[in-house]
Homo-oligomer: A and B are copies of this chain.
Amino acid sequence: MSKESITFIGTGVMGKSMAGHLLNAGYLVNVYNRTQSKTDELVANGAVWHDTPRSAAAKADIIITIVGFPKDVEEVYLGDDGILANAKSGSLIIDMTTSSPMLAKKIAAEATGKGIGALDAPVSGGDLGAREAKLSIMVGGVQEDFDRAAPVFEVMGKNIQLQGEPGAGQYTKMVNQIAIASGMLGISEAMAYAKKSGLDPFHVLKSIESGAAASWSLSNLSPRALKGDYAPGFFVKHFIKDMRIAIESADEMGLDLPGLKLAKSLYDKLAAQGGEDNGTQALLKLYIEQ
């Protein structure tokens, strides 16, 4: 069976690696990005450039997007020149942006009405996971569409789970971000306390990082923060976006999450102090500069 043709919209840090893997796997890949130069390397490797999402969408069996914010997702899918107005009946859309679960449901409903399949499939694993094709891909949609997309997902990720109906991928990603949000409070407060009490925080990690306090963030992010290395693995501004979506969707369910709200308020403060382009580990700054 010949491979389905793909359109890839959004070739930022994540998307560029992901589209590159698809090219390397032998897929025909159409690309569109608001900043054209970010597609240059992909085009040099065989991708086909399109001037508009409309043109790119019309050309492919499977249309993948990974853009910035929910408003970008809304525009690229639901706008007059967007994907749903121009994709072929029988095509499959896959939004891999971390975005609103309600928006994912809305897009899926509209797509279904046009005979287009739809999956929401946000990822975790960051730029490194994208580069190494080791992303965790959290998928919402129907089984048939998931099965159709599986060969494509397997080129980009390694932990690929259908979590439920449309929106379930986004809900799952929010679960992930909610756990991380208060977790970042915990490691930041713990390290601030270690420093303030005169301990050597790196030596403290030897006592605590393999026990009940063990976490990926404690072992990977707190050493960076302690060294004053605030370079982004994951940007503060993107984490704030995710926490906003999580709070809004929790509110829609009537669920109050005070830890998440506290974490967002502190990250908002960090961003207001100029930290929005730092990595999330920079939260420690708020505590040690009290």
Contacts and interface: CB of A to CB of B under 8 A. Distances in A.
Interface of A: 101, 124-126, 129, 136, 138, 159, 161, 163-164, 167-168, 171-172, 174-183, 185-194, 196-201, 203-204, 206-208, 210-218, 234, 246, 249-250, 253-260, 262-263, 266, 287, 290
Contacts of A168: 197-199
A196 B258 CA distance: 16
Q: Is the interface of A mostly helix, strand, loop or mixed?
A: helix
**What is the oligomeric copy number?**
2
A199 B172 contact: yes
Q: Which of A192, A193, A217 has the most CB of B within 10 A?
A: A193
B185 A199 contact: no
A138 B207 contact: yes
10 contacts: A125-B211, A136-B211, A163-B200, A167-B197, A177-B213, A185-B186, A196-B250, A214-B215, A215-B216, A262-B262
A185 B260 CA distance: 9
B257 A259 contact: no
Contact of A193 (B190, B206, B250): B250
Given A189-B257, A193-B257, A211 B171 contact: no
A86 to B, nearest CB: 31
